[in-house]
Amino acid sequence: MKQKFIAIALMSILAVGTVTGLAKTVQVGGGTWNYGTGSGRVYSEYYHASEIHGSSVVNGNGVKDTDYNRAKGQWSDASTSSTWKVDNSYYHVGKK
């Protein structure tokens, strides 16, 4: 009985771990930044109405994606596969 309970608990933890992601939207740098992980991706999306801007990501294996020098009024969008390591998302305002 104890083994069955442990197996069910472990399956529940694994199921929750594969479904959940971390996502956040904040107002920063005069624009809107969406960033986080979900569906196996790490992403960074940034919008600024009046400045050139961009976003980038670097996953825990060092794989990088960038979307720099987006025109004002457009969303920048960078993403790559997420890892079990630390994944990072960035935004910037101005030409890069």
pLDDT tens digit sequence for 32-90 = 999 999 999 999 999 999 999 999 999 999 999 999 999 999 999 999 999 999 999 99
- Asked if pLDDT for residue 20 goes beyond 80, the answer is no
CA distance 45 to 26: 11
| pLDDT value of residue 96 | 86
What pLDDT is stored for residue 21 in this prediction?
Answer: 72
> CB–CB of 74/49 below 8 Å?
no
Q: How confident is the model at residue 18 (pLDDT cuts 50, 70, 90)?
A: very low
Distances in Å between the alpha carbon of 63 and those of 9, 18, 21, 60, 86?
Answer: 34, 21, 19, 7, 12
Tokens for 46, please give them: 């940034």
Taking CA 83 as the corner, what is the angle to CA 77 and CA 42, rounded to the nearest 5 degrees? 15
